[in-house]
Amino acid sequence: MSGRVGIEVVVGAIPGPLDCFLILRGTKTLAVRMRQHCENGMAIAEFLSEHREVKQVRYPGLASDPGHAVAKKQMSAFGGMISLELKGGLERNLRFTQKTKLFSLAESLGGVESLLGHPISMTHTSIPKEERAKGGLPDALVRLSVGIEDTGDLLDDLEAAIKGSR
């Protein structure tokens, strides 16, 4: 072994040609995908904020959100991440996560498909309840990663899941 250190040791893994091609291809549609994420996110956040079965919605694009003023200064649009809590507590919110057809239950977020997760039973299960409470994470909270599917289809799916979770 020579004393020479390769660039991959210094900067990390180097992508192969196919990886580079896929990244380049994806950047060509990034603006269109982000525009749809943001439009869908706002439409769903507004729908949920007006729904009588919803206890709480967190989305930086809503004027009622505590982080709205800062988000408005920093962002031109507000993305597709929404947190919500239905009325009825933990059990109802868990039922809701099982009733959607277009929103898939997943821990991964941010793809082009719509996903939802229940943090305390998935990604945050190892964090003690007291710590979650200090961080403002209610047990019943559900997180949506809104994709680029048809807005009407997504709204219909959420409405059916809300009704089906009663």
> Tens of pLDDT along the chain (166 residues)?
556 777 777 777 888 899 999 999 999 999 999 999 999 999 999 999 999 999 999 999 999 999 999 999 999 999 999 999 999 999 999 999 999 999 999 887 778 999 999 888 887 877 888 888 888 888 888 999 999 999 999 999 999 999 999 9
CB-based contact 78:68 (threshold 8 Å): no
Phi-psi category of residue 88: left, alpha or beta, with phi > 0 → left and psi -120 to 50 → alpha = left
As a whole number of Å, the CA-based R_g of the chain is: 19
Total residues found in the chain within this entry: 166
3-state DSSP percent of the chain in helix, strand and coil, to 5: 45, 10, 40
| pLDDT given for residue 3 in this prediction | 66
Burial class (CB in 10 A: 0-12, 13-18, 19+), 88: middle
Give pTM, 2 decimals.
Answer: 0.84
- CATH superfamily, with its number, for domain 13-164: Aspartate Aminotransferase, domain 1 (3.90.1150.10)
Over residues 2-33, the pLDDT tens digits come to: 567 777 777 778 888 999 999 999 999 999 99
Which tokens belong to 30? 């990034």
| pLDDT given for residue 129 in this prediction | 81
CB-based contact 91:123 (threshold 8 Å): no
